[in-house]
Amino acid sequence: MKSFALVISAIFHPLLLPSYAFGVLFFLSNLTIFPTSTEIKWRLWIILFVLTFAIPFLLILVFYFTKNIKNLMISDKEERVNPFLFTTLLYCIFTSFFLLNENLARFPAIGLILTGISLSLAVLTWITIYWQISAHSIGMSGMLGSALALQIVFDSNLLLPFFVLIFLTGLVMSMRLYLQAHTPSQVWAGAGVGFFINFFVVIFLGFF
């Protein structure tokens, strides 16, 4: 069971979640606010994968090999602040790129979702200074909040992915508790923070 819990934690590592989310939105939804050409979708997805996963993960590897963190899951609260801070700064830079680039202005929803993720990371980093909140819970529930908001604002066909995501969020949260990586309050606090930040960012920016 422990091996299964570790695999689930690795598969749904917070840095991988944006790639999963954009994959679902690009290829499994009917939202016209995202690119319609399959070629453009793949190009954008690869760019987003590199920006939101590959580069931040390389940064974490640097922290690991310089012995600033003991493991790639960064389980020690005291070790989390600097990697989280640098990751937040990277995401803010990437988000600004998507918001300000004229060629990407036709896909404003990408920048909108990245804004929610960046804000979640900023709050995660701030809380981590004082308390070890669950990054997995923030990431999973953040996707849940964004999916529900997109369904409300744009009347998308995300209901099936939304219900699948509810199950996966519960699974990941349960595995983090099983591994004793967090207390129930840390897991539930992460779920609340991630859901409400991403839900209200997409709702507010989506409408206005």
- pLDDT truncated to tens, each residue of the chain (208 aa)? 888 998 999 999 999 999 999 998 888 877 767 777 889 899 999 999 999 999 999 999 998 898 888 877 777 778 888 999 999 999 999 999 888 887 777 777 888 899 999 999 999 999 999 999 999 999 999 999 998 888 888 766 777 888 899 999 999 999 999 988 889 999 999 999 999 999 999 888 766 6
Q: Which residues of 157-173 are buried (b: 16+ CB within 10 A; e: fewer)?
A: ebeebbeebeebbeebb
Handedness of CA 1, 12, 141, 123 (dihedral sign): positive
The two structure tokens encoding residue 171: 């699974």
**pTM for the whole thing?**
0.91
Q: How far apart are CA 149 and CA 143, in angstroms?
A: 10
